[in-house]
A and B are shown apart, each in its own frame.
Chain A
């Protein structure tokens, strides 16, 4: 009787095991040449480091003093040793200030407002230039910055949808446990109020001129713009 059925199978199993053992010992390497090239490409530089521009250049670009820039950089570098903040890290950092709510959406908008060259990470220059506008800029510059924040697609117009997204993200930061309870219509009501105030020609969008003009007439807003002068 010849080899048949289970015996064939048994012999096949034995051969496979044998091959596996040989491969383990490195004696037998089938098709290894094809695999070598692909494995090297997985090796990548995992750390990207970024060095900021010199202190003097930054002094020219911003309105901070040398000492302030030094202190800002030290804090920045402490948190982000690689010199750049990516969006996830940024969201984590910003969320720590608002433990009760969910700050990630607003952090996303904020990130886009700071990341001026839209490369997905904030370098120290972006950080410090943004801060310079916010803390040492004129009221018009600050208002410009705020408008830029609201204008999500940076087309120069703030539509109701964009404003609603921003408003919802601000309300999200409040979290669940608030008094009174945040109703679902609260953001859109707030947006309606905002548009009532800002949109002078009732065309459904707010332009930068309407925005600046309305804000300059509103005392509250003017006062509060000065609020954070002494942050640094």
Chain B
């Protein structure tokens, strides 16, 4: 529950009077307010600066330092104030959090000092409000990077006992680790360059033999080029196989971009070897040679800048897409207009709209080859509009891409972005959990409330344990952990349950029990609450199948009502589903027992199971909810049925 609306809780509770005449069941007892110190002001002295606030402002967040009794450690008896030897500037933000419910991060504050203060006062940083959260996360990320850079220098100490495979992988990824890696790095770089130059020079016309036209060098010195090509490809193949061997996850390595480039670079050669002088496919073979140029991309392993460029383009995909889309739209529009404008003129080059595309592209990118020019006045007017708008359309997304590139280049962000994604998910998950915490807190305290209101059941011969041992110390611990505010809120929800005669359960249990509802047979409803004989027979047979007795209703549908059971035994749910209900046992209400105590349950339970069933005032069909002890001793129409 947001603490900001804590002020309205009294109002909501008062308004609950509207449910009273409608309810058929008696209401639970209200939690007693502790001694009413609510209007007391307390003074917090933080390094000399005094902050004053109401006590119940601080009580809104009982799991922080200031909201709990932990602050008593800082109480100064003589001056009657709480003294903290911390930074008063940051404390302002902390105190404002209590006042307004929102935590802000001041921009001028150092991130690590802020984090320290938050940790000291027990406030989690995930609840920083959305207005300041981006800033906070950015600063935190920068800080983490700085720390990481410092750490990386220490990382060169090689951990001992690395397998050969791991050493190789490390050498491949980071050439500075050993001289061998460095040598390998330079050698491959050299051969990539050689291969690319070879491909280029191959096509240069190389001197003329007499009475023959110029032939490219590739055809003149075929053997030499072939040997060079073979050598390069061999080196690349060996390198690829070595990387494949060393990769920690071969499957992932094979899917990575660099390995695909490697494969594409060496494949044409092998395909060329296979398909020898077959005339038909030689055309395709020539095309394949084009792919050899992809070897140049192998340089990106050697150049950080290239990698960042590639990453930038990938991350600016949306801006590039926008650019492309808007350009396409503009091209189509202007091409259409130019075509119709130039239709009238004779010998016009604008023969069709697709033919006009070329003119439009050349004009919009301000190239202006001049092979197609408009001749009519209209054409010229539209042509000039076209070139002006081209400048604008192209100029718009470019700065975005440029700034992206520079940001990424400076921050070197690739791995961090992935980490930031995980943090975002974690943060949202935490916030979602804390929101669910409200309803879960109520269900949790319902379960624990069993203890605080039913003292007589500690006398039962078997232990009724749900999640904790039922001892009095535990009771107090549980009671302390819920603040007055929470207990009042829970009381309110409890009253609502009583009014409608239904109970809150959590989602898991609901889905489980109503999925299995179809699988179980419902015995007929028997409204009578009498204890029955013959339970011992069924009880033990039930025991033989399962190890705990379900908590059943007197007259409700005969599948389980173990609200309590859900939380204590997640695996108990599994067992729930296969419990077969004997027809005789529908009227039994017995309390839950722990799954791990089958022995003590054995046939004691058949004699001792005690049921507390409350009969509501119109004793018809509404006793669904209440085999719980909560309807405890304070209410008159509680019937204690002790089973046979």
Contact = CB atoms under 8 A, between A and B. Distances in A.
Interface of A: 5-7, 9-11, 13-14, 17, 67, 70-72, 74-76, 78-79, 93-94, 96-100, 110, 113, 127, 131, 134-135, 142-143, 145-146, 149-150, 166-167, 170-171, 173-182, 186, 190, 193-194, 211, 215, 220-221, 223-225, 227-228, 230-232
B237 interface: no
A220 B26 contact: yes
B5 A97 contact: yes
A99 B18 contact: no
Contacts of B489: 97
**Most chain B beta carbons < 10 A, residue from A97, A135, A149:** A97
Given A177-B507, A182-B500, A6 B376 contact: yes
Given A10-B378, A94-B12, A224-B27, A149 B507 contact: no
B576 to A, nearest CB: 13
Contacts of A177: 504-507, 509-510
Nearest to A196: B618
Given A110-B18, A190-B22, A174 B504 contact: yes
Contacts of A97: 1, 5, 8-9, 12, 489, 492-493
Closest 9 CB pairs of A and B: A75-B7, A10-B378, A134-B14, A177-B510, A224-B27, A6-B378, A178-B502, A10-B381, A224-B20
Given A170-B22, A225-B17, A228-B17, A220 B617 contact: yes
Given A6-B378, A93-B5, A179 B17 contact: no
Contact of B502 (A135, A142, A182): A182
Nearest to B510: A177
A179 B513 contact: yes
A132 to B, nearest CB: 10
B137 interface: no
Contacts of A93: 5, 8
Contacts of B10: 72, 75, 131, 231-232
Nearest to B342: A6
Nearest to A191: B22
A228 B16 contact: yes
A35 B344 CA distance: 44
A131 B563 CA distance: 35
A76 B10 CA distance: 11
B187 to A, nearest CB: 62
Given A78-B7, A98-B493, A171-B500, A110 B510 contact: no
B344 A6 contact: yes
A175 B504 CA distance: 8
Contacts of B556: 180
A224 B504 contact: no
A100 B5 contact: no
A228 B13 contact: yes
B230 interface: no
A75 B8 CA distance: 7
Interface in B208-225: none
Interface in B9-35: 9-27, 29-30, 32-33
Contacts of B5: 79, 93, 96-97
B617 A10 contact: no
A32 B376 CA distance: 38
B624 interface: yes
Nearest to B10: A231
A60 B197 CA distance: 98
Interface string B372-394: 00001110011001000000000
Given A75-B7, A93-B5, A167-B22, A99 B438 contact: yes
Contacts of B493: 97-98
Contact of A79 (B7, B29, B435, B501): B7
Given A98-B496, A166-B22, 19 more contacts: A6-B341, A14-B381, A79-B4, A94-B8, A96-B5, A97-B9, A113-B18, A142-B17, A146-B17, A146-B21, A150-B18, A167-B22, A170-B499, A176-B510, A190-B501, A215-B21, A220-B617, A228-B30, A230-B32
B96 interface: no
A170 B510 contact: no
A194 B22 contact: yes
A188 to B, nearest CB: 13
B439 interface: yes
A71 B496 CA distance: 27
Contacts of A174: 496-497, 500, 502, 504
A75 B7 CA distance: 5
Contact of A178 (B1, B7, B29, B505): B505
Given A14-B381, A177-B507, A190 B500 contact: yes
Contacts of B617: 220
Contacts of B344: 5-6
Contacts of B563: 179
Contacts of A100: 439, 504
A99 B507 CA distance: 13
A205 to B, nearest CB: 15
A176 B497 CA distance: 13
B503 interface: yes
B496 A79 contact: no
B39 A71 contact: yes
A127 B501 CA distance: 29
A147 B605 CA distance: 48
Contact of B15 (A74, A134, A179): A134
Contacts of A186: 500, 502
Contacts of A127: 11
Nearest to A110: B15
Given A76-B7, A96-B1, A170-B499, A10 B510 contact: no
24 contacts: A7-B376, A7-B378, A11-B381, A71-B39, A74-B54, A79-B5, A79-B8, A96-B1, A97-B8, A110-B18, A170-B496, A174-B504, A175-B504, A177-B505, A178-B505, A181-B510, A182-B500, A190-B22, A220-B26, A220-B27, A221-B23, A228-B17, A228-B30, A230-B32
A200 to B, nearest CB: 15
A6 B561 CA distance: 82
Contacts of A220: 23, 25-27, 617
Contacts of B506: 177
B239 to A, nearest CB: 59
Contacts of B32: 230
B175 interface: no
B338 to A, nearest CB: 10
Contacts of B30: 227-228, 230
Contacts of B62: none
